């Protein structure tokens, strides 16, 4: 089963690979395609698609990590 990568900055599922050779010659870098975010980095949140559909609103705007 594929898992969804969530941007750690804006909490949206808008990440894509930032470099064509990520993971081979360069570290895995991801870029958020959200207009207001512009995150580029190696960190991401990975969740199950079923959980994303059920809890979609809880990931947006919640910046407290407990």
**Look-up: residue for tokens 């609103």?**
57
Element (H, E) at 15: strand 15-17
CA distance 56 to 53: 5
CA distance 10 to 38: 9
Tell me the pLDDT tens digit for each residue of 7-62. 999 988 888 888 777 566 767 889 999 888 989 998 998 888 887 665 555 545 44
């Amino acid at each position: 089963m594929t898992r969804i990568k969530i941007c750690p900055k804006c909490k949206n599922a808008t990440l894509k690979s930032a470099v064509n050779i990520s993971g081979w010659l360069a570290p895995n870098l991801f870029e958020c395609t959200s207009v207001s975010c512009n995150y580029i980095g190696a960190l991401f949140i990975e969740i199950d698609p079923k959980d994303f559909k059920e809890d979609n609103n809880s990931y947006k705007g919640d910046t407290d990590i407990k």
